[in-house]
Chains A and B, each alone.
Chain A
Amino acid sequence: MLRLTLGLVTVFAFSVIIFSTFSFLPGDFATEILGQSATKSAVKALRAELGLDKPPVTRYFDWLGNVFQGDFGSSFSGRSKVQGDQGDRSREVVGLIIPRLKNTLFLTGVAAMLAIPLSLILGISAALYRNSYYDRSATGVSLVTVSSPEFFTAYIFILLLATLFPVFPTIATVDEDTTLVERFYRTALPVFTLTLITMGHMMRMTRSAIINILSSEYIEMAKLSGSSRYEVIVKHALPNAWAPISQVIAINLAYMLIGSVVVEYVFNYQGIGRLMVGSVYNRDLPVVQACALIFASTYVILNLIADLIGIISNPRLLYPK
């Protein structure tokens, strides 16, 4: 319960930071859209219409109040540059974000389903055969993948699987009509990239969590009561390792979502990351704010889930004395 409240407070704090950061950005949308030569009165009128003339605190609370009702406001872009044109083409932020969010969630979801089981299996087996060649090469390779930036990994994949051996497309453009199979095929490269950049970290943490537990006395006891290697790991070590493992998975899932900003850009994928980058260009504040808030909340929610798993997997916390 306390964690839940703390989580909420964190999201609030984020919202304040996000909002104030963007208000401090130089320039504003009104001058941007109307151009350098716009008259002062025109700028002023547009500012008034967008509510940019109100003091920041008022704007913050207006915005926050609307967010609570699921209304992230209207996007600035798409507005008519001609004053008085009533054919307003600006779109609701929510309508703009939801399909993009779905795309991103699809991408990260597929990557997660690939990365989590793979890294668990690799991590556990590396811990089991510690210091073997397998373990060394697995930890070595994972170090390389962790340290290379995602765009680099992405370009390597493009080079290998799209240019030299044209198996997958480089452009992962999808729309609502794309079939599921087609989606899998088109997103293969971004999924591989996300999987690879997060797997190393998860695998290494799983390995060290298991190794840490393997040195405890109850593991020796389990061995001395005749448990096989498999039993020792799966029955005795793993149940005690869920807490650290779920923490690292949560962090990496969040990282995947953030990492998708770059990956989506590289592969031209219609996700929320691309939307955010584009909106920053256009000074489209409502969209940027909404995206940032979504990213922040994902972090908090994922960490909350990890904490919960930690509690559920630990009888000491689940059944107090």
Chain B
Amino acid sequence: MTSNKSKELLLEMKNIHIDGFSDERWHKILKGVDLTLYRGEILGLIGESGAGKSTMGKAAMGYTQPGCKIINGEVNFNGIDLAKLTEFEKRKIWGTKISYVAQSAAASFNPAHRLMDQTISASNRLKINPTDVLKKDAVQLYESLQLPDAENIGDRYPHQVSGGQLQRIMTAMAMSPRPELIIFDEPTTALDVTTQVEVLSAMRSIVDKFNTAAIYITHDLAVVAQMADRIKVLRYGEEVEEAETRDMLSNPKEEYTKSLWSVRSLIKPEETNQDYILSIKNIDAAYGSSKVLYDVSIDIPKGKTVAIVGESGSGKSTTARVITGLLPQSSGEIIFDGKKLSPKLEQRSKEELRKIQIIFQMPDTAMNPRQTVDEIIGRPIEFYQGIKGKERESKVIELLKMIELDETFLDRLPSELSGGQKQRICIARALAANPDLIICDEVTSALDQIVQEGILKLLQKLQKDLGVTYIFITHDIATVKAISDEIVVMYQGEVVEQGLKSKILNPPHPEYTELLLSSVPEMDPDWLTSLLNKRSS
């Protein structure tokens, strides 16, 4: 992190204006953003969804997505204005001089071709090195990215390797032609924290090794702190502030920047009791022939929040499916409110069904897009409580007020709501059944930081007012700290440990909990370096 002035200018974007076409009209996506990047430097670009950070990243290549256009501005790359080049001229730069690493590696690799062919396809176009030299080089890149079986992994198809590996192979693909600039567009957002650490360290070391300049786009300040020399914050298509990473973290100037990590400041004092509303005992469960839960036992104290944490595939969502009866267990039992619940959904009484409700991760897909808010919330009121007509409507309004919305929302369709509002409606729908237990399955993962904070606060308030119990399934440790009383750690279908929040989060830890907790990025720019040193020693 030396002074920028001694370095050579690589990319200079001036006064970028980009419009996008949606809902039958043009919207402004970027409203005059500047950006400078020097050779070998990494710039972090952060902001919430809709801030225009991805659009800015792609504009750095002179590319806009279909339906978008650059209205104004210059993109000077090595002194050439990319915004003025023709498609044909830009293609000579794309993939070779500037390469791009996408958010979802799984969707960004062509499923029909082998990984090696895709890795070297851009370099092959340069016609500088013959294919076998490129292949050897790719294997070396795979090795330095610590991919297993680097020699042969390129012979596989994208569906045959894991998400974290794909993301590293995509980095190798970006690096193969030795570009001058790489755009990383949320490359670790879709990964588990434990995988994220590996991918981050691999990407950082390879960018260092070849002294490649990079723009790193993310919404996670802690992640960008590990990667970037400088950070630029965007909001609503405008720049909020820009500073050297250390300055930004220790001394953010704008209110907005501070609010970006506000969830991390949310804290809940822990409480618990021995009065269990739900106990699941020695549950085994399987999807078809593949077993996913092994001897899972969890106790849920009444009126409290139990967070179930673990990476994808750890069985946390499956546990929720077993509790709700969507997936009958193969052995073990579920005691709810002192009574045994039958494993199958069809055999449970309406009353039992009413008492356990679930809220899903994606509010978009959890609501019928053709139903109004009134119908969505009113339906469970009518179904479970038999309330109809005027009374039903007043109940719906009451619930809307509870979730901090009002009766003006009654006639809206889900498509007319923001992401946070949609999730609130889903919460109201769960509350409409007047349940004792609500299972929240990653309810905040799809939302922006500030919206997350609002939802978490709302859930806490509702618990205080109504005494409802939550099972909170998440992979995000910051959320866990903010909302839980007790924590259950799951790994590969087994419970690693259960206990009070303070007990789980403080050492000594079982091995897996240690790995999971230490993988959560911290706001310290030296965190990744010191973590890697600690792990290797």
Q: How far is the CB of B88 from chain A (nearest CB, A)?
A: 8
What separation, in Å, do the CA atoms of A227 and B113 have in the docked complex? 15
Q: Taking the complex as formed, is B133 at the interface, i.e. its CB lies under 8 A from any CB of chain A?
A: no
Chain A 222-249 per-residue mask, 1 if CB under 8 angstroms from chain B, else 0:
1111111000000110011000000000
Contact residues in B for A235 (Cβ distance below 8 Å): 113
B:75-124 near A, CB below 8 Å: 91-96, 99-100, 102, 104, 107-113, 121-122
**What are the residues of chain B within 8 A of A240 when measuring CB–CB?**
110-112
Quick one: which of A86-110 are within 8 Å of B by CB? none
A319:B160 contact, CB within 8 angstroms: yes
24 CB contacts below 8 A, A to B, read A217-B102, A220-B65, A220-B102, A221-B102, A221-B109, A222-B110, A223-B63, A224-B58, A224-B95, A224-B99, A225-B99, A225-B122, A225-B173, A226-B92, A226-B95, A226-B96, A226-B122, A227-B91, A228-B91, A235-B113, A315-B112, A315-B157, A319-B160, A321-B160
Partner of B157, one of A216, A221, A319: A319
For chain B, give the interface size range.
20 to 34
A173 located at the interface, meaning its Cβ lies under 8 Å from any Cβ of chain B in the complex: no
Does chain B have a CB within 8 A of A218? yes
Pick the contact of A226: B91, B102, B109, B111 (CB < 8 A).
B91
B61 at interface, CB cutoff 8 A: yes
Residue interface bits B41-76, CB-to-A below 8 A is 1, else 0: 000000000000000001001010100000000000
**Given the known A-B contacts A226-B122, A226-B125, are A316 and B96 also in contact in the complex, defined by CB atoms under 8 Å?**
no
Contact with A316, one of B100, B125, B159 (Cβ below 8 angstroms): B159
Q: Which residues of B contact A218 (CB under 8 A)?
A: 107-111
With contacts A216-B107, A218-B107 known, is A225 near B95, CB below 8 A?
Answer: yes
Known: A224-B100, A240-B112. A321 touches B159 (CB 8 A): yes
Task: Apart from A225-B94, A225-B95, list 8 A-B contacts with CB within 8 A.
Answer: A220-B65, A221-B100, A221-B110, A224-B94, A225-B99, A226-B91, A226-B96, A314-B112
- Complex Cα–Cα for A228 and B113 (A): 17
B65 contacts across to A, CB distance below 8 A: 220
Contact check, B112 vs A313: say whether CB atoms are below 8 A apart: yes
Whether A315 and B159, one on each chain, are in contact in the complex, defined by CB atoms closer than 8 angstroms, is: yes
* Contact indicator B96/A314 (Cβ below 8 Å): no
Interface of A is mostly: helix
B313 to chain A, nearest CB (A): 14
Residue from A221, A225, A228, A239 within 8 A of B112 (CB atoms):
A239
Closest 9 CB pairs of A and B: A225-B95, A226-B95, A239-B112, A226-B94, A217-B107, A315-B157, A221-B108, A224-B100, A225-B122
User: Hey, which chain A residues are within 8 Å of B99, CB to CB?
Assistant: 224-225
Cβ of A59 to closest chain B Cβ, rounded Å: 44
Contacts of B58 in A (CB 8 A): 224
Cα distance A286–B63 in the bound complex, in angstroms: 66
User: Least Cβ distance of B410 to chain A in Å?
Assistant: 35
Give min CB distance, A128 to chain B, whole Å: 13
Roughly how many angstroms separate A313 CA and B109 CA in the complex, as a whole number? Answer: 16
State A319–B160 Cα separation when bound (angstroms).
8
- Give chain A residues whose Cβ lies under 8 Å from the Cβ of B94: 223-226
Closest to B61 in A: A224
With a cutoff of 8 Å between Cβ atoms, the chain B residues found around residue A217 in the complex are 102, 104, 107-108
CA distance A220 to B93 in the complex (A): 15
Residues of B within 8 A of A316 (CB): 111, 157, 159
Complex Cα distance, B124 from A227, in Å, reads 11
Complex interface residues of chain B between 103 and 157 (CB less than 8 A to chain A)? 104, 107-113, 121-122, 125, 157
* Bound Cα distance A313, B111 (Å): 10
Q: Which residue of A lies closest to B123 (CB)?
A: A225
- Closest Cβ of chain B: how far from A226's Cβ, in Å? 3
Pair A315/B111 contact, Cβ less than 8 Å? yes
Kindly state the separation between the CA atoms of A226 and B174 in the bound complex, as whole angstroms.
Answer: 12
Task: Give the residues in chain B near A226, CB-CB below 8 Å.
Answer: 91-96, 122, 125
B76 CB, nearest partner CB in chain A, Å: 19
Cα distance A213–B347 when bound, in Å?
43
**B153 CB to closest chain A CB, in angstroms?**
14
List, in ascending order, chain B residues with CB within 8 A of A223's CB. 63, 94
Residues on B with beta carbons closer than 8 Å to the beta carbon of A313: 112
Nearest CB on A from B97, distance (A):
9
Report Cα–Cα, A235/B108, bound state, in Å.
15
Which of B63, B110, B157 lies at the interface centre, i.e. has the most chain A CB atoms within 10 A of its CB? B110
**Which residues on the A side are within 8 Å of B63 (C-beta)?**
223-224
Contact of B111 among A222, A227, A314 (CB under 8 A): A314
